[in-house]
Structure 1
């Protein structure tokens, strides 16, 4: 990258050509699984979860790579694209299993489409967890992201579905046809569902992430394999920079000092994310990086602690 003042704030219109963005901001997004660097102990935790058919609960700071784990596992084991369920305080178990578009059916009826009004199947779609629980020869990979942001009851509500590996869609259990094709999550593909029951034949590879903002009930925790992302080491940060930017951090110099300062701030308890370091390295390691006071200003801006506004 070459540092360039695209915007000058002088109000003068000008033609500019933006240089290439950092690799993680190129669109369409490239898979991050190929550059993911698992910290010590993570591969053992993943393999334990795979062997025991248990969800893997990963706790760590934002930006520590937790949500990339599922992509790495899915890519390496050839499980296909990972399904994703991003949790908010309003998330419910039902929405993760299936969704019934009642308003869409009413709208179709108002438009005079009789072919759709008597059949609710076109208005039902499986959610990410419901799709992951479909019977298949190979398991699907599912990310349940930031589960610590959920309602207090959601982790307990998940237990039954994860223990039994099945659920019922009552609207289809009463359907006139015993087998109904229902759309899967994230696409137009459909899957036949018999008598409204979805039963998995291969338990999905489930990775749940938590920023550590709350505790979980013991019955939920004992059904998970738990892993906490450790503080990175200097060698690990060097490997991350090399993997993402194809750039070797020298043993000394401004770039090495930047990495060491970042690591020391983490050890001092500051709330920083590795992607902040990658942003700073990308900005400051080009052919014509910013100099002197401008460089110091950019470092302070890009590596600002996350707990501050």
Structure 2
């Protein structure tokens, strides 16, 4: 039977993703050969203390749970907007942990990012150097011809005689890896998409809609091999996966979270292909729950800091991390109340814009 909600927001890992119903007919993908999702500890960077802690302590609202499940059921990206410090990027780690989706793939977007960066990276200079090293080997000097017959795709380049192969100089990016035909959806964070070049959201449309892409270098090389299969590196690890004829097509559409601080508007064609979640500053009960998850039950002074934080948040932008830092130091530093107040004020400056407030 289908399971709703698949993601519960309880932070208790489970295999409910296996009870996800079939996708809508227009979102059904059939990529192969089927790959097993990597273990959660396979990517060292994805299990850093910060990311592991955020995944285990994230506190989802009811709205967040509902829209995460909508994105999972519909096989659509989740666009998460809201002010800094509201947990936009932490959400994907919490979902990946609860649903056992493996290491989170992360693409940090800048104004110079292109779709190609997210799909794969190819280093032609290292390949040229390898070709020269290959040509300088003694058997080359003696006139031995490179083998061509049933070699894997790209093993021998007819133009250069490079025996190292294109695939040895190519690695899939986070988006490109997420679209591999995994049995379970991979979790992908595309962080701060609003900082991208104007063309990137539109460039993403076709790839996320089709669930597939081509690697032209491998497409060309596959013409010179019998089976047309190349083994390429994936993002985050040194694992290699087979790619046939240079085309990658997903099986389970990845759980894609795109975050935005609201610095720009997105084209309607992009928005209609996403499920949109707007995160707001937490209220007093939610904030107390966040503090409890990170630092234990709030004491009297922590409650005071929570009230002051909420009062200041009505005047200017603040991040929950600032409050957590202040509460941690209040418990650990052994300062008197006056010194604590001064330190807390310095730890909670307004973000992004100036604001006037006499209250702290």
TM-score by length of structure 2 reads 0.74
Match of 2:177 in 1: 131
Match of 2:301 in 1: 254
Q: 1:304 aligned to 2:353? A: no
SS at match of 2:61: coil
Match of 2:204 in 1: 158
Q: Deviation at 1:32? A: 1.9
Residue pairs, 1:42-81, within 5 angstroms:
42-81=64-103
Change in 2 beyond 3 A, CA 1:110/1:294: farther
Change in 2 beyond 3 A, CA 1:122/1:210: same
Looking at structure 1, the residues matched to 132 and 349 of structure 2 have their Cα atoms a distance apart, in angstroms, of: 54
Match of 1:275 in 2: 321
Residue pairs, 1:64-213, within 5 angstroms:
64-112=86-134, 117-118=162-163, 119-175=165-221, 176-177=224-225, 178-213=228-263
Residue pairs, 1:225-244, within 5 angstroms:
225-244=275-294
User: What is the aligned-residue RMSD (CA, Å)?
Assistant: 1.9
8 Å Cα contact 1:39/1:230 also seen in 2: no
Q: 1:285 aligned to 2:331? A: yes
Looking at structure 2, the residues matched to 189 and 27 of structure 1 have their Cα atoms a distance apart, in angstroms, of: 20
Q: Deviation at 1:27? A: 6.4
**5+ unaligned residues in a row in structure 2: which ranges?**
1-46, 138-154, 157-161, 355-360
Q: Deviation at 1:285? A: 2.0
SS at match of 1:263: helix
Report which structure shows greater RCO (CA 8 Å, sep ≥6). 1
**5+ unaligned residues in a row in structure 1: which ranges?**
1-25
Change in 2 beyond 3 A, CA 1:44/1:152: same
Match of 1:295 in 2: 340
- How many residue pairs get matched? 279
Q: Deviation at 1:110? A: 4.3
Q: Deviation at 1:202? A: 1.1
Looking at structure 1, the residues matched to 217 and 301 of structure 2 have their Cα atoms a distance apart, in angstroms, of: 63
8 Å Cα contact 1:39/1:229 also seen in 2: no
TM-score by length of structure 1 reads 0.86
8 Å Cα contact 2:84/2:261 also seen in 1: yes
SS at match of 2:88: coil
SS at match of 1:230: coil
Segment of structure 1 superposing worse, 112-121 or 175-184: 112-121
Q: Deviation at 1:308? A: 5.3
Change in 2 beyond 3 A, CA 1:308/1:298: farther
